Amino acid sequence: MTLRLRKGSTREKNQSFVRQSKPFILGLLCSALALGGGLAIANTHSKEVTSDTGLRFIQIAAKNKEERSAVAQTGVSIEAVRSDSVWVFANSKQISRLKERGFHVLGNFDYKTSRGGHETLFDFPSGDSKFHNYDRMTQELHALQSENPDLVSLTSIGKSLEGRNIWAIHFNTSKDALSQNVSNKPGIVYMGNHHAREHVSLEIPLMLAKHLVDHKNDPQIAQLLENRDVWIIPMVNPDGAEFDISTGSYQWWRKNRRPNGDGTFGVDLNRNYSYEWGTGGSETDTSSETYLGTNPFSEPETQAVRDFVRGHLNLKVLLSFHTFSELILYPWGYTYDGISKTKDQETYKRMATTMAQWNHYTPQQSSALYIASGDTTDWSYGELGIFSFTFELSPSGMEGGGFYPGQKVIDKVFKDNLQPCLYLLQVAGNPYQVLDSGTENTWLSNYVQPGSFAQ
Protein backbone atom coordinates (compact mmCIF):
# COMPACT_ATOMS: atom_id res chain seq x y z
CA MET A 1 0.00 0.00 0.00
CA THR A 2 1.29 3.44 -0.80
CA LEU A 3 0.50 6.70 0.79
CA ARG A 4 0.61 10.03 -0.93
CA LEU A 5 0.13 13.46 0.49
CA ARG A 6 -2.71 15.05 -1.40
CA LYS A 7 -2.02 18.18 -3.28
CA GLY A 8 -2.98 21.01 -0.97
CA SER A 9 -2.73 18.93 2.16
CA THR A 10 -1.49 21.12 4.90
CA ARG A 11 1.69 21.29 6.85
CA GLU A 12 1.33 22.17 10.36
CA LYS A 13 1.27 25.38 12.06
CA ASN A 14 3.49 25.15 14.94
CA GLN A 15 4.20 28.01 17.12
CA SER A 16 7.33 27.70 19.03
CA PHE A 17 10.07 29.79 20.43
CA VAL A 18 13.67 29.82 19.49
CA ARG A 19 15.36 31.90 22.11
CA GLN A 20 18.95 31.12 21.28
CA SER A 21 21.39 33.63 19.93
CA LYS A 22 23.41 31.21 17.81
CA PRO A 23 23.09 31.64 14.09
CA PHE A 24 19.75 30.14 13.29
CA ILE A 25 20.71 28.89 9.89
CA LEU A 26 23.16 26.48 11.49
CA GLY A 27 20.30 24.99 13.44
CA LEU A 28 18.19 24.83 10.35
CA LEU A 29 20.86 22.91 8.53
CA CYS A 30 21.31 20.57 11.48
CA SER A 31 17.58 20.02 11.62
CA ALA A 32 17.51 19.32 7.93
CA LEU A 33 20.19 16.69 8.39
CA ALA A 34 18.45 15.23 11.40
CA LEU A 35 15.30 14.96 9.38
CA GLY A 36 17.00 13.01 6.68
CA GLY A 37 16.56 15.87 4.27
CA GLY A 38 13.13 16.91 5.50
CA LEU A 39 14.07 20.52 4.94
CA ALA A 40 15.66 21.30 1.65
CA ILE A 41 17.70 24.45 1.68
CA ALA A 42 18.08 26.86 -1.23
CA ASN A 43 17.46 25.41 -4.66
CA THR A 44 17.32 21.72 -3.93
CA HIS A 45 14.21 20.21 -5.48
CA SER A 46 12.61 23.62 -5.60
CA LYS A 47 10.38 22.82 -8.54
CA GLU A 48 9.19 19.59 -7.03
CA VAL A 49 8.61 21.23 -3.67
CA THR A 50 6.70 24.16 -5.03
CA SER A 51 4.49 21.91 -7.13
CA ASP A 52 3.76 19.74 -4.10
CA THR A 53 2.53 22.34 -1.67
CA GLY A 54 3.89 25.76 -2.50
CA LEU A 55 5.09 26.05 1.07
CA ARG A 56 8.19 28.07 1.80
CA PHE A 57 10.10 28.33 5.05
CA ILE A 58 10.63 32.02 5.60
CA GLN A 59 12.06 34.33 8.23
CA ILE A 60 10.14 37.49 9.01
CA ALA A 61 11.20 40.43 11.13
CA ALA A 62 9.00 40.52 14.24
CA LYS A 63 10.33 41.58 17.59
CA ASN A 64 7.52 41.35 20.13
CA LYS A 65 4.32 39.45 20.91
CA GLU A 66 2.15 42.03 19.11
CA GLU A 67 4.16 41.67 15.91
CA ARG A 68 4.20 37.87 16.25
CA SER A 69 0.43 37.81 16.71
CA ALA A 70 0.05 40.02 13.62
CA VAL A 71 2.22 37.59 11.66
CA ALA A 72 0.10 34.66 12.85
CA GLN A 73 -3.04 36.54 11.78
CA THR A 74 -1.93 36.27 8.15
CA GLY A 75 -2.56 32.53 8.35
CA VAL A 76 1.03 31.33 8.41
CA SER A 77 2.34 28.81 10.89
CA ILE A 78 4.97 30.20 13.22
CA GLU A 79 7.59 27.51 13.65
CA ALA A 80 10.23 29.24 15.69
CA VAL A 81 10.70 32.55 17.39
CA ARG A 82 13.81 34.61 17.91
CA SER A 83 14.06 37.92 19.71
CA ASP A 84 14.03 39.79 16.38
CA SER A 85 12.15 37.48 14.01
CA VAL A 86 10.01 34.41 13.46
CA TRP A 87 10.32 31.46 11.09
CA VAL A 88 7.12 30.40 9.44
CA PHE A 89 5.76 28.05 6.80
CA ALA A 90 3.88 30.15 4.27
CA ASN A 91 2.38 29.72 0.82
CA SER A 92 2.72 32.35 -1.89
CA LYS A 93 -0.62 33.95 -1.01
CA GLN A 94 0.44 34.32 2.57
CA ILE A 95 3.85 35.68 1.61
CA SER A 96 2.13 38.36 -0.50
CA ARG A 97 -0.20 39.14 2.38
CA LEU A 98 2.75 39.50 4.74
CA LYS A 99 4.49 41.85 2.36
CA GLU A 100 1.31 43.88 1.83
CA ARG A 101 1.04 44.30 5.58
CA GLY A 102 4.55 45.67 5.71
CA PHE A 103 6.42 42.65 7.05
CA HIS A 104 10.01 42.29 6.01
CA VAL A 105 11.03 38.88 4.68
CA LEU A 106 14.57 38.20 5.86
CA GLY A 107 15.04 34.69 4.47
CA ASN A 108 13.19 32.34 2.13
CA PHE A 109 13.88 28.62 1.77
CA ASP A 110 12.39 25.65 0.01
CA TYR A 111 10.64 23.15 2.16
CA LYS A 112 10.46 19.63 0.85
CA THR A 113 7.23 18.20 2.05
CA SER A 114 6.05 15.27 0.04
CA ARG A 115 7.11 11.73 0.68
CA GLY A 116 4.64 10.33 -1.82
CA GLY A 117 5.17 6.80 -3.03
CA HIS A 118 6.76 5.37 0.10
CA GLU A 119 5.49 2.21 1.72
CA THR A 120 3.35 2.89 4.76
CA LEU A 121 5.32 1.81 7.77
CA PHE A 122 3.60 3.50 10.69
CA ASP A 123 6.81 3.45 12.58
CA PHE A 124 9.66 5.71 13.52
CA PRO A 125 12.88 5.89 11.56
CA SER A 126 15.29 3.27 12.96
CA GLY A 127 17.41 5.90 14.74
CA ASP A 128 14.33 6.91 16.73
CA SER A 129 13.07 3.44 17.59
CA LYS A 130 12.79 4.30 21.30
CA PHE A 131 9.75 6.41 20.47
CA HIS A 132 6.39 4.71 20.76
CA ASN A 133 4.03 4.42 17.85
CA TYR A 134 0.36 3.85 18.62
CA ASP A 135 0.59 0.07 18.88
CA ARG A 136 3.63 0.03 21.12
CA MET A 137 2.12 2.68 23.38
CA THR A 138 -1.09 0.65 23.58
CA GLN A 139 0.88 -2.48 24.53
CA GLU A 140 2.76 -0.61 27.26
CA LEU A 141 -0.47 0.73 28.71
CA HIS A 142 -2.09 -2.72 28.71
CA ALA A 143 0.98 -4.13 30.43
CA LEU A 144 0.84 -1.47 33.15
CA GLN A 145 -2.75 -2.38 33.81
CA SER A 146 -2.35 -6.14 33.81
CA GLU A 147 0.73 -6.02 36.04
CA ASN A 148 -0.85 -3.60 38.55
CA PRO A 149 -4.58 -4.37 38.73
CA ASP A 150 -4.90 -2.88 42.23
CA LEU A 151 -3.62 0.49 41.17
CA VAL A 152 -4.13 0.94 37.45
CA SER A 153 -6.94 0.65 34.99
CA LEU A 154 -6.93 1.43 31.30
CA THR A 155 -9.92 2.98 29.64
CA SER A 156 -10.75 4.55 26.30
CA ILE A 157 -12.21 8.06 26.51
CA GLY A 158 -13.45 7.84 22.92
CA LYS A 159 -12.27 7.13 19.42
CA SER A 160 -10.32 9.26 17.00
CA LEU A 161 -11.75 10.10 13.60
CA GLU A 162 -10.06 7.05 12.09
CA GLY A 163 -11.35 4.86 14.91
CA ARG A 164 -8.35 4.51 17.20
CA ASN A 165 -8.99 4.40 20.93
CA ILE A 166 -7.83 7.45 22.84
CA TRP A 167 -6.42 5.76 25.90
CA ALA A 168 -6.53 7.08 29.43
CA ILE A 169 -4.64 5.34 32.18
CA HIS A 170 -6.10 5.77 35.63
CA PHE A 171 -4.28 5.47 38.95
CA ASN A 172 -6.26 5.14 42.13
CA THR A 173 -5.66 3.06 45.24
CA SER A 174 -9.39 2.43 45.65
CA LYS A 175 -10.78 -0.60 43.80
CA ASP A 176 -14.20 1.01 43.49
CA ALA A 177 -12.77 4.17 42.00
CA LEU A 178 -10.84 2.09 39.51
CA SER A 179 -13.77 0.00 38.44
CA GLN A 180 -16.18 2.96 38.25
CA ASN A 181 -13.64 5.42 36.86
CA VAL A 182 -14.71 8.08 39.34
CA SER A 183 -13.24 9.19 42.63
CA ASN A 184 -13.77 11.79 45.34
CA LYS A 185 -10.05 12.34 45.73
CA PRO A 186 -8.57 15.49 44.19
CA GLY A 187 -7.69 14.71 40.59
CA ILE A 188 -5.07 15.60 38.03
CA VAL A 189 -4.86 14.85 34.32
CA TYR A 190 -1.73 14.87 32.19
CA MET A 191 -2.13 14.84 28.40
CA GLY A 192 0.22 14.51 25.47
CA ASN A 193 0.40 14.56 21.70
CA HIS A 194 -2.40 16.94 20.78
CA HIS A 195 -0.06 17.85 17.95
CA ALA A 196 0.98 14.96 15.76
CA ARG A 197 4.66 15.64 15.24
CA GLU A 198 5.35 16.49 18.88
CA HIS A 199 6.36 12.93 19.69
CA VAL A 200 8.35 13.82 22.80
CA SER A 201 5.06 15.03 24.27
CA LEU A 202 3.81 11.43 24.20
CA GLU A 203 6.94 9.92 25.72
CA ILE A 204 6.95 12.10 28.85
CA PRO A 205 3.43 11.27 30.13
CA LEU A 206 4.02 7.62 29.21
CA MET A 207 7.23 7.60 31.25
CA LEU A 208 5.40 9.32 34.08
CA ALA A 209 2.86 6.48 34.11
CA LYS A 210 5.68 3.93 34.28
CA HIS A 211 7.48 5.91 36.95
CA LEU A 212 4.42 5.99 39.20
CA VAL A 213 4.04 2.24 38.89
CA ASP A 214 7.74 1.47 39.32
CA HIS A 215 7.90 3.64 42.45
CA LYS A 216 4.48 2.87 43.87
CA ASN A 217 6.06 1.57 47.07
CA ASP A 218 8.37 4.53 47.62
CA PRO A 219 6.89 6.38 50.61
CA GLN A 220 6.53 9.69 48.82
CA ILE A 221 4.93 8.30 45.67
CA ALA A 222 2.79 5.91 47.71
CA GLN A 223 1.40 8.82 49.70
CA LEU A 224 0.68 10.81 46.56
CA LEU A 225 -1.10 7.86 44.97
CA GLU A 226 -3.07 7.20 48.14
CA ASN A 227 -4.42 10.75 48.21
CA ARG A 228 -4.99 11.60 44.58
CA ASP A 229 -6.92 10.49 41.52
CA VAL A 230 -4.46 10.45 38.62
CA TRP A 231 -5.19 10.30 34.90
CA ILE A 232 -2.78 10.20 32.01
CA ILE A 233 -3.94 10.53 28.39
CA PRO A 234 -0.65 10.22 26.52
CA MET A 235 -1.86 10.41 22.91
CA VAL A 236 -4.81 12.69 22.23
CA ASN A 237 -4.22 12.71 18.46
CA PRO A 238 -3.36 9.14 17.44
CA ASP A 239 -4.35 9.55 13.78
CA GLY A 240 -2.07 12.52 13.31
CA ALA A 241 0.80 10.92 15.22
CA GLU A 242 0.55 7.77 13.10
CA PHE A 243 0.34 9.79 9.91
CA ASP A 244 3.49 11.66 10.87
CA ILE A 245 5.46 8.41 10.87
CA SER A 246 3.54 6.66 8.11
CA THR A 247 6.26 6.67 5.48
CA GLY A 248 9.52 6.18 7.31
CA SER A 249 10.28 9.89 7.11
CA TYR A 250 8.71 12.44 9.35
CA GLN A 251 5.82 14.30 7.73
CA TRP A 252 5.88 17.43 9.88
CA TRP A 253 2.20 16.90 10.53
CA ARG A 254 0.42 18.88 13.25
CA LYS A 255 -3.33 18.48 13.01
CA ASN A 256 -5.69 15.53 13.20
CA ARG A 257 -6.62 13.75 9.95
CA ARG A 258 -10.06 15.24 9.29
CA PRO A 259 -10.76 15.29 5.54
CA ASN A 260 -12.02 18.84 5.15
CA GLY A 261 -13.92 18.02 1.97
CA ASP A 262 -11.84 20.25 -0.26
CA GLY A 263 -8.72 18.13 -0.62
CA THR A 264 -7.14 19.41 2.58
CA PHE A 265 -6.78 17.48 5.78
CA GLY A 266 -6.79 18.26 9.42
CA VAL A 267 -8.11 20.46 12.18
CA ASP A 268 -5.74 21.92 14.74
CA LEU A 269 -6.97 20.29 17.94
CA ASN A 270 -5.37 23.04 20.00
CA ARG A 271 -7.62 25.59 18.30
CA ASN A 272 -10.81 23.53 18.50
CA TYR A 273 -11.77 23.92 22.18
CA SER A 274 -14.78 26.12 22.82
CA TYR A 275 -13.54 28.81 25.17
CA GLU A 276 -13.28 32.05 23.13
CA TRP A 277 -13.07 29.81 20.05
CA GLY A 278 -12.16 31.60 16.86
CA THR A 279 -11.34 34.95 18.48
CA GLY A 280 -7.76 35.16 17.26
CA GLY A 281 -4.66 33.20 16.37
CA SER A 282 -6.56 30.50 14.51
CA GLU A 283 -7.67 30.20 10.90
CA THR A 284 -10.88 29.52 9.00
CA ASP A 285 -8.84 28.50 5.95
CA THR A 286 -8.98 24.69 5.90
CA SER A 287 -5.47 24.45 4.53
CA SER A 288 -4.03 26.40 7.42
CA GLU A 289 -1.98 24.66 10.02
CA THR A 290 -4.09 26.34 12.70
CA TYR A 291 -7.44 25.57 11.09
CA LEU A 292 -9.96 25.83 13.90
CA GLY A 293 -12.59 23.39 12.57
CA THR A 294 -16.18 24.02 11.57
CA ASN A 295 -17.39 24.46 15.16
CA PRO A 296 -16.00 24.38 18.67
CA PHE A 297 -15.44 20.73 19.53
CA SER A 298 -16.11 19.64 15.95
CA GLU A 299 -13.50 16.88 16.33
CA PRO A 300 -13.95 13.52 18.04
CA GLU A 301 -10.59 13.91 19.77
CA THR A 302 -11.47 17.22 21.45
CA GLN A 303 -14.98 15.92 22.18
CA ALA A 304 -13.42 12.96 23.98
CA VAL A 305 -11.21 15.22 26.10
CA ARG A 306 -14.15 17.57 26.78
CA ASP A 307 -16.45 14.77 27.91
CA PHE A 308 -13.75 13.17 30.01
CA VAL A 309 -12.84 16.39 31.80
CA ARG A 310 -16.46 17.48 32.29
CA GLY A 311 -17.21 14.01 33.64
CA HIS A 312 -14.52 14.24 36.34
CA LEU A 313 -15.36 17.22 38.46
CA ASN A 314 -12.71 16.23 40.99
CA LEU A 315 -9.99 17.36 38.54
CA LYS A 316 -8.10 20.29 40.00
CA VAL A 317 -5.03 20.43 37.75
CA LEU A 318 -4.43 19.75 34.04
CA LEU A 319 -1.12 19.63 32.23
CA SER A 320 -0.95 19.42 28.44
CA PHE A 321 2.47 18.52 27.04
CA HIS A 322 3.57 20.02 23.74
CA THR A 323 6.94 20.64 22.12
CA PHE A 324 9.15 22.61 21.72
CA SER A 325 10.68 25.72 23.32
CA GLU A 326 11.07 24.98 27.04
CA LEU A 327 8.17 27.05 28.28
CA ILE A 328 5.65 26.80 31.10
CA LEU A 329 2.48 28.47 29.83
CA TYR A 330 -0.67 29.37 31.70
CA PRO A 331 -3.92 31.13 30.65
CA TRP A 332 -4.89 33.29 29.01
CA GLY A 333 -3.83 32.49 25.50
CA TYR A 334 -6.70 34.20 23.68
CA THR A 335 -5.98 37.64 25.17
CA TYR A 336 -3.10 39.63 26.54
CA ASP A 337 -5.25 40.44 29.56
CA GLY A 338 -4.29 38.74 32.77
CA ILE A 339 -6.62 36.59 34.84
CA SER A 340 -9.14 38.82 36.58
CA LYS A 341 -9.35 36.69 39.72
CA THR A 342 -6.25 37.98 41.48
CA LYS A 343 -5.91 34.94 43.70
CA ASP A 344 -5.92 32.61 40.69
CA GLN A 345 -3.42 34.79 38.85
CA GLU A 346 -1.08 34.71 41.83
CA THR A 347 -1.53 30.97 42.22
CA TYR A 348 -0.68 30.37 38.57
CA LYS A 349 2.40 32.54 38.79
CA ARG A 350 3.59 30.84 41.94
CA MET A 351 3.04 27.37 40.50
CA ALA A 352 4.76 28.24 37.23
CA THR A 353 7.80 29.88 38.81
CA THR A 354 8.16 27.04 41.29
CA MET A 355 8.15 24.44 38.51
CA ALA A 356 10.58 26.51 36.49
CA GLN A 357 13.14 26.09 39.23
CA TRP A 358 13.25 22.40 38.41
CA ASN A 359 13.05 22.28 34.64
CA HIS A 360 14.54 25.74 34.03
CA TYR A 361 11.86 26.48 31.46
CA THR A 362 10.50 30.01 31.04
CA PRO A 363 7.24 30.59 32.91
CA GLN A 364 4.83 32.99 31.19
CA GLN A 365 1.26 33.68 30.17
CA SER A 366 0.41 31.77 26.96
CA SER A 367 -0.34 34.91 24.97
CA ALA A 368 3.16 36.22 25.66
CA LEU A 369 4.14 33.59 23.09
CA TYR A 370 1.39 34.72 20.71
CA ILE A 371 -2.37 35.02 20.82
CA ALA A 372 -4.10 31.74 20.07
CA SER A 373 -7.71 30.93 20.91
CA GLY A 374 -9.38 27.57 21.38
CA ASP A 375 -6.54 25.82 23.16
CA THR A 376 -7.00 23.15 25.81
CA THR A 377 -5.89 25.12 28.81
CA ASP A 378 -7.94 28.28 28.19
CA TRP A 379 -10.97 26.01 27.98
CA SER A 380 -10.30 23.86 31.04
CA TYR A 381 -9.54 26.88 33.17
CA GLY A 382 -12.12 29.19 31.59
CA GLU A 383 -15.03 26.77 31.68
CA LEU A 384 -14.17 24.60 34.65
CA GLY A 385 -11.70 26.54 36.78
CA ILE A 386 -9.09 23.79 36.58
CA PHE A 387 -5.54 25.07 37.04
CA SER A 388 -4.20 24.27 33.61
CA PHE A 389 -0.75 24.46 32.08
CA THR A 390 0.87 23.87 28.72
CA PHE A 391 4.49 22.74 28.84
CA GLU A 392 6.49 23.28 25.69
CA LEU A 393 9.12 20.63 26.27
CA SER A 394 12.72 20.57 25.04
CA PRO A 395 14.53 21.38 22.90
CA SER A 396 14.66 25.12 23.30
CA GLY A 397 14.97 25.77 19.59
CA MET A 398 15.41 24.50 16.08
CA GLU A 399 19.12 24.00 16.46
CA GLY A 400 18.32 21.36 19.08
CA GLY A 401 16.26 19.48 16.51
CA GLY A 402 12.94 21.30 16.88
CA PHE A 403 10.12 18.76 16.75
CA TYR A 404 12.52 15.97 15.91
CA PRO A 405 15.36 16.14 18.43
CA GLY A 406 16.01 12.40 18.35
CA GLN A 407 15.56 9.74 20.98
CA LYS A 408 18.69 10.81 22.84
CA VAL A 409 16.79 13.67 24.50
CA ILE A 410 13.94 11.64 25.98
CA ASP A 411 15.53 10.60 29.27
CA LYS A 412 16.74 14.08 30.09
CA VAL A 413 13.45 15.71 29.22
CA PHE A 414 11.72 13.27 31.55
CA LYS A 415 14.22 13.85 34.33
CA ASP A 416 13.82 17.63 33.99
CA ASN A 417 10.05 17.38 34.23
CA LEU A 418 9.50 14.69 36.84
CA GLN A 419 9.59 17.07 39.80
CA PRO A 420 7.19 19.56 38.18
CA CYS A 421 4.82 16.66 37.45
CA LEU A 422 4.98 15.41 41.04
CA TYR A 423 4.63 18.92 42.39
CA LEU A 424 1.43 19.37 40.39
CA LEU A 425 0.24 16.02 41.68
CA GLN A 426 0.77 17.19 45.22
CA VAL A 427 -0.71 20.67 44.89
CA ALA A 428 -3.78 19.26 43.12
CA GLY A 429 -5.03 18.72 46.68
CA ASN A 430 -5.63 22.45 46.85
CA PRO A 431 -3.71 24.60 44.38
CA TYR A 432 -4.28 27.72 46.48
CA GLN A 433 -2.06 26.25 49.17
CA VAL A 434 0.94 27.31 47.06
CA LEU A 435 0.24 30.85 48.25
CA ASP A 436 0.97 29.84 51.84
CA SER A 437 4.34 31.26 52.75
CA GLY A 438 7.22 28.90 53.27
CA THR A 439 5.84 25.97 51.31
CA GLU A 440 7.67 26.73 48.09
CA ASN A 441 11.17 26.17 49.41
CA THR A 442 10.11 23.09 51.27
CA TRP A 443 8.80 21.54 48.09
CA LEU A 444 11.92 22.44 46.22
CA SER A 445 14.19 20.73 48.69
CA ASN A 446 11.93 17.77 49.33
CA TYR A 447 9.13 17.75 46.84
CA VAL A 448 6.68 15.69 48.80
CA GLN A 449 6.23 16.39 52.47
CA PRO A 450 4.51 13.55 54.27
CA GLY A 451 1.48 14.93 56.00
CA SER A 452 1.31 18.06 53.89
CA PHE A 453 -1.59 16.93 51.73
CA ALA A 454 -4.84 18.73 51.47
CA GLN A 455 -7.31 15.91 51.92
Catalytic residues: 392
Position among 5, 86, 202, 369 found at the interface with ligand 0X9 (CB under 6 A): 369
Smallest distance, ligand 0X9 to C-beta of residue 213, A: 28
User: Which residues have CB under 8 Å from 249's CB, separation 6+?
Assistant: 35, 36, 37, 38, 115, 118, 125
Q: How far is the CB of 233 from Zn ion (least distance, A)?
A: 15
The residue type found at 258 is R
Rounded to 5°, the CA angle 425-154-139 comes to 110
Tell me whether residue 446 is exposed, middle or buried, using C-beta atoms within 10 angstroms of its C-beta: 0 to 12, 13 to 18, 19 or more: exposed
246 interacts with ligand 0X9 by CB under 6 A: no
- Asked whether 304 and 311 are in contact (CB, 8 A), the reply is no
Closest CA to 165 of 157, 174, 173: 157
Considering the rule CB under 6 A, would residue 322 count as an interface residue with ligand 0X9?
yes
Per CB under 5 A, the segment of 123-131, 190-198, 229-237, 291-299 that binds Zn ion is 190-198
Q: Does residue number 322 form part of the binding site for Zn ion (CB under 5 A)?
A: yes
DSSP codes joined into one string, 198-261: -THHHHHHHHHHHHHHHTTTSHHHHHHHHH-EEEEE--S-HHHHHHHTTTSS-----S---B-S
The Cα 384–Cα 43 span in angstroms is 50
Q: Which is nearer to ligand 0X9, 57 or 453 (CB)?
A: 57
Which stretch, 10-18, 36-44, 128-136, 216-224, contacts ligand 0X9 (CB under 6 A)? 10-18
Q: Could you tell me the smallest distance in angstroms from the CB atom of residue 379 to ligand 0X9? A: 11
Which residue's beta carbon is nearest to the bound ligand 0X9? 333
Distance of alpha carbon 200 from alpha carbon 131, whole angstroms: 8
Please list, residue by residue across 133-158, b when 16 or more beta carbons sit within 10 angstroms of its beta carbon and e when fewer do.
bbeebbebbeebbeeeeebbbbbebb
Among 187, 266, 333, 401, binds ligand 0X9 (CB under 6 A): 333
- Please report how close the Cβ of residue 180 comes to Zn ion at its closest, in angstroms: 33
The residues pairing with 362 across neighbouring beta strands, listed in sequence order, are 327
CA 252, CA 5: separation in Å to the nearest integer? 12
Q: Mask 108-147, x = binds Zn ion (CB under 5 A)?
A: ----------------------------------------
One of 212, 292, 372, 425 touching ligand 0X9 (CB under 6 A): 372
Distances (CA, A) of 154 to 50, 146, 165: 45, 9, 11
Does 312 bind Zn ion (CB under 5 A)? Our answer is no
> Shortest distance, CB of residue 106 to ligand 0X9, whole angstroms?
21
Q: Which residue's CB is nearer to Zn ion, number 237 or number 354?
A: 237
Determine, following the binding rule CB under 6 A, whether residue 365 of this chain makes contact with ligand 0X9.
no
Residues 391-430 that bind ligand 0X9 (CB under 6 A): 392
Site size toward Zn ion, by CB under 5 A? 3
CB-based burial label for 335 (10 Å; 0-12, 13-18, 19+) = middle
The interface partner of residue 216, options being ligand 0X9, Zn ion, none and the CB cut-off 5 to 8 Å by kind, is none
- Stretch of residues binding ligand 0X9 (CB under 6 A), selected from 118-126, 143-151, 258-266, 364-372: 364-372
Nearest Cα neighbor of 67 from 57, 56, 78 is 78
User: Please, are residues 119 and 247 in contact by the beta-carbon 8 Å criterion?
Assistant: yes
Q: Which is nearer to ligand 0X9, 165 or 272 (CB)?
A: 272
Contacts with Zn ion, residue ranges (CB under 5 A): 195, 198, 322
Contacts with ligand 0X9, residue ranges (CB under 6 A): 14-16, 195, 198, 270, 322, 329, 333, 366-367, 369-370, 372, 375, 390, 392
